[in-house]
Amino acid sequence: MIEHVEGKELVTTESAITETASNVSSDDWNYKSDNVAINIEKIQTGQGKDTVTYFVADVQLSDSSSLKSAFAKDLFGQNIVEKTSEIAADNKAIFAVNGDYYGFRSDGVLIRNGVLYRDEPARVGAALLKNGTMQTFDETDVAASSLLADGALHTLSFGPVLIKNGEVVEDFDKVSVDSNFGNRSIQGSNPRTGIGMISANHYVFVVVDGRKESYSKGMTLSEFSNVFANLGCTEAYNLDGGGSSTMYFMGRVVNNPLGKQEERSISDILYIKG
């Protein structure tokens, strides 16, 4: 596939940022500074063919500016891809997960780091706001200008919504599936990535491994939404899954993508800086 840059360049590399975190302590599963606290837990349930393995990152921020987004190769466009770990390393991320794979579709509302890159309403999206909160919205009902006025730093266009206003979504039978490459099916038990909010500037990121017998079969959307509910989230949203599902922390990939330790190259990440 040929890379296609769509006119805007996202300059987010952390080499341009001069501030440094103070009072930092960390180990393989935890990070704490004056601005950020991250705790990652590996959870395994079931046994045999019903085994499920997933990773929960509890992230507390002192300010919403610590949660950022980055494009592959720092370029906005289609078919521009890198691995999650590569994009994260390029941006000196402490923590990262794959985003919504915006580059393999031409629609959706795309705001990243406060900049509007695409305004082609198509589905229910999620917005991460300057006040540290998260909300989901119908892209066809809410103008991008209104989202920016309300303080949207990032929007994500994938879905579906898992939890809204404290209510867990139970029925995913009528969820439409995008026809874009890399998202042929979201039903059944699959690897998954999602983001949830417990309270302002208190987020939960969950990555589920799958498609490897006796290690992890993956989760259905209903199972995935219940994970976020049990973690105390009032909002939660499904991101790109399958081979894209990747969690990065302190220089390493934490999970096991597709049970093969092989990352898929993607178009974007959400990440935390110190």
Residue 2: band (very low, low, confident or very high) from pLDDT cuts 50, 70, 90: low
Least-confidence region, from 10-24, 98-112, 131-145, 227-241 = 10-24
On the question of pLDDT at 12 being above 50, the answer is no
Q: Given the DSSP bridges, would you call strands 36-45 and 192-199 parallel, antiparallel or unpaired?
A: unpaired
Mean pLDDT over 3-30 rounds to 63
- CA–CA distance, 38 with 97 (Å, rounded to integer): 13
Task: Compute the distance between CA of residue 160 and CA of residue 236 in angstroms, rounded to an integer.
Answer: 9
Question: What is the C-alpha separation between 91 and 246, in angstroms, rounded?
Answer: 16
pLDDT digits (tens, 9 = 90+) for 200-211: 999 999 999 999
What is the rounded average pLDDT of the residues 237-257?
97
* Residue 111 tokens, joined: 């705001």
Give the C-alpha separation, 106 to 120, whole Å: 8
- Per DSSP, helices labelled H in 40-127 are 84-90
What is the structure's pLDDT at 170? 78
Confidence of residue 13 (pLDDT cuts 50, 70, 90): very low
> What was the pLDDT predicted at 173?
73
d(CA 29, CA 42): 9
> What is each CA distance from 157 to 91, 204, 221, in whole angstroms?
22, 18, 17
Helix (DSSP H) and strand (DSSP E) numbers for the chain: 3, 23
pLDDT band at 14 (very low <50, low <70, confident <90, very high): very low
pLDDT of residue 256: 97
pLDDT at 180: 43
Residue with the larger pLDDT of the pair 23 and 236: 236
Residue 222 confidence (pLDDT): 95
Which residue did the predictor score with more confidence, 104 or 20? 104
Quick one: pLDDT band at residue 258, thresholds 50, 70, 90?
Answer: confident
Which pLDDT belongs to residue 7? Answer: 54
pTM assigned to the model: 0.91
Residue 273 tokens read as: 């800086």
Helix (H, G, I), strand (E, B) or coil at 147: helix
Instruction: Please say if the pLDDT value at position 15 is more than 50.
Output: no
Which of the two residues, 5 and 29, has the higher pLDDT score? 29
Model confidence over 83-136: pLDDT tens digits? Answer: 999 999 999 999 999 999 999 999 999 999 999 999 999 999 999 999 999 999
Instruction: Output the average pLDDT for the chain.
Output: 91
Residue-level pLDDT at 149: 98
pLDDT for the residue 16: 33
Q: Quick one: which of 218, 237, 262, 270 has its CA closest to 97?
A: 270
Strands (E), 12-166: 25-26, 30-32, 36-45, 52-61, 67-71, 75-78, 82-83, 95-98, 108-112, 115-120, 124-129, 134-138, 152-156, 161-164
The answer, yes or no, to whether residue 176 has pLDDT greater than 90, is no
User: pLDDT tier at 17 (50, 70, 90 boundaries)?
Assistant: very low
Which pLDDT band holds residue 6 (cuts at 50, 70, 90)? confident
Mean pLDDT within 23-42: 97
